[in-house]
Amino acid sequence: MKEKKKIILIGGGFAGIEFVKKIDSHLFDVLLIDKINHHQFQPLFYQVATSQIEPASISFPFRNIFKHKKNLQIRLAEVIEVNDTAQLVITTVGEFRYDYLVIAIGCKTNFFGNQNIAKYSFTLKTTYDSIAIRNHILQTFENIISAEEHEKENLMNLVIVGAGPTGVELAGAFAEIKKNILPKDYPGIDFTAFKIILVEGSKHTLNNMSAQAKEASRNYLLKMGVQIITEVFVKDYDGQVLQLSNGSVISSATVIWAAGVTGNVMKGLPPENIIQGNRIQVNRINQMLLSERIFALGDIAYMETPLYPKGHPQVANVAINQAKNLANNFKRIALQRTALEFEYKDLGSMATIGRNKAVVDLSFVKFKGYIAWLVWMFLHLMLILSVRNKLIIFINWSWAYITKDTSLRFILKHSDKK
């Protein structure tokens, strides 16, 4: 029997998970390398951050997901460098040789070079980030109870920077817990003074969606009490005061940065193959332009096609479909067949702004409100990996809908050793 080719896959996000599922186990052995031991369901991070679901509900250990995959090995490690000449990936736990390398490491938060913002603001790119935000918000309200009057404004201003889906969903969720949950937990606090401020550099919320979605999301948020500041950029933040490009300042102890992403940089790749946004330029089969052995998938990959001459949107559906196509193409290449070029068929986009409020843009119809909210819930529930987790999240959502409450408001921090 012909010896299997060895594929190293870096990253276990949406693209990585789908690639492992679809790759032919009779033809290829796969080594999955990731810094963490689990897949993270990013679309619901904001619900962890706002105490609506537990982090375990949207985190899936790789070894459990792939317990029946005999052609897969997993290493918990950080990649230090890629040496394509020697066909080696150098990591914190050793060196590994590959016949093919698939990079699916996604993106990180883009602070646009501002080190203060990177240091003092919160991000929402990992499960850990979600827990950190939850801890901070709950601890902030504990602090407000005993704070001096002149300290309270700073604690009562929550600023979210970036009005894409993440920012809008966070703002809506915080507005709902401000109305329905926090006054019950903290009856001594006047929550009319609690401000949720959404700052966006463009003209609109959900600027990449339809005009209807932009208008509806803005109106929903305004009715929920969210303050929206558009066409303004953040200049600096020192942990206490946010400086805006229009000269105004906002006193706030809580700034959540959701204003953009940039690719994760990997040492050893040809710099001329890295384009704006630190994305890896690939051809129509996700192959890096300057190497026959290296491929890139998902958010990190930049592919120009007739329908997307400026690259594909950095969304889960693109990553999943690129992974399916590449896994199929590896088999076709092994069988000496012609590889199939990738093209993405946009199925639409959506965002939820809170209870019974969402916007959905499909290619053939655009709608908002309760039905859009149900569609958003259903599609996200279907994307959850395990039946058990689907059930847990559905029960949590149902309970929260009926009671307008959850019981997940734990502050989880390291305690001082005695």
How many CB atoms within 10 Å of residue 186?
Answer: 16
Q: Tell me the Ramachandran region of residue 77: left when phi exceeds 0, alpha when psi lies from -120 to 50, beta otherwise.
A: beta
- Does one domain contain both 243 and 317? no
Say whether both 143 and 250 belong to one domain: yes
Whether residues 205 and 223 fall in one domain: yes
What pLDDT is recorded for position 3?
85
Answer whether residue 200 is part of any domain: yes
* Number of structural domains found in the chain: 2
Burial class (CB in 10 A: 0-12, 13-18, 19+), 120: middle
What is the distance between the alpha carbons of residues 153 and 335, in angstroms, rounded to a whole number? 66
* Contact between residue 286 and residue 19 where contact means Cβ atoms under 8 Å apart: no
Name the residue with tokens 């929206």: 228
Single-letter amino acid code for the residue at 220: Y
Q: Of 334, 358, 379, which marks where a domain is finished? A: 334
Backbone angles phi, psi at 40, to 5 degrees: -115, 130
| DSSP state letter for 264 | P
The token pair at 113 is 């070079």
Give the global pTM.
0.92
Specify if 230 maps to a domain.
yes
Helices 387-403 and 370-383: angle between axes, nearest 10 degrees: 150
Domain membership flag for residue 209: yes
Q: What is the pLDDT along the chain (418 residues), one digit of tens a residue?
A: 578 999 999 999 999 999 999 999 999 999 999 999 999 999 999 999 998 888 989 999 999 999 999 999 999 999 999 999 999 999 999 999 999 999 999 999 999 989 999 999 999 999 999 999 999 999 999 999 989 888 899 999 999 999 999 999 999 999 999 998 888 888 888 899 999 999 999 999 999 999 999 999 999 999 999 999 999 999 999 999 999 999 999 999 999 999 989 998 889 999 999 998 899 999 999 999 989 999 999 999 999 999 999 999 999 999 999 999 999 999 999 999 999 999 998 888 999 999 999 999 998 899 999 999 999 999 999 989 888 899 989 988 888 888 877 655 667 666 554 4
Q: What is the DSSP letter of 355?
A: T
Two tokens, residue 159: 């600023």
Residues 119 and 252 in one domain: yes
Rg, the chain, Cα only: 23
pLDDT attached to residue 131: 93
Q: What is the pLDDT of residues 365-407, one digit of tens each?
A: 999 999 999 999 999 999 898 888 999 899 888 888 888 776 5
Kindly state whether residue 351 falls inside one of the protein's structural domains. Answer: no
Measure Cα distances from 169 to 48, 58, 94, 354 in Å. Answer: 12, 17, 41, 7
Q: What angle do CA 288, 293, 298 make, to 5 degrees?
A: 45
Enclosing domain of residue 280: 5-35+77-109+262-334
Phi-psi region of 59 (alpha: psi -120 to 50; beta: other; left: phi over 0): beta
Contact 249, 159 (CB under 8 A): no
Listed in sequence order, the residues at least 6 apart from 135 whose beta carbon sits closer than 8 Å to its beta carbon are 411, 412, 413
Q: Say yes or no: 206 and 157 in one domain.
A: yes
pLDDT at position 409 is 67
Look at residue 123 and tell me if it is in a domain. yes
Are 157 and 191 in a shared domain? yes
8 Å CB contact between 299 and 316: no
CATH number at residue 160: 3.50.50.100
**Using CA atoms, how far apart are residues 195 and 200, in angstroms rounded to an integer?**
16
Last residue of a domain, one of 288, 305, 334: 334
User: Within this chain, do residues 20 and 82 fall inside the same structural domain, yes or no?
Assistant: yes
Last residue of a domain, one of 334, 367, 397: 334
Whether residue 132 lies inside any domain: the answer is yes
> What pLDDT is recorded for position 265?
83
Query: What gap in Å lies between CA 143 and CA 155, rounded to an integer?
Result: 8
Sort strands 88-91 and 94-97 into parallel, antiparallel or unpaired. antiparallel
DSSP-derived letter for residue 225 is T
Instruction: Examine the domain organization and report whether 87 and 134 are in the same domain.
Output: no
Q: How far apart, in whole angstroms, are the C-alpha atoms of residue 55 and residue 275? A: 34
In a domain, 294, yes or no: yes
Closest CA to 96 of 27, 19, 4, 31: 31
Residues 368, 365: Cα–Cα separation, whole Å: 10
For the stretch 333-356, pLDDT in tens is 999 999 999 999 888 899 999 999
User: Hey, how many other C-beta atoms are within 10 angstroms of the C-beta on 238?
Assistant: 11
Q: Classify residue 217 as exposed, middle or buried by CB count within 10 Å of its CB (0-12, 13-18, 19+).
A: buried
Q: Which domain CATH number covers 314?
A: 3.50.50.60
Is 408 in contact with 54 (CB distance < 8 Å)? yes
Q: Which two tokens stand for residue 101?
A: 């390398």
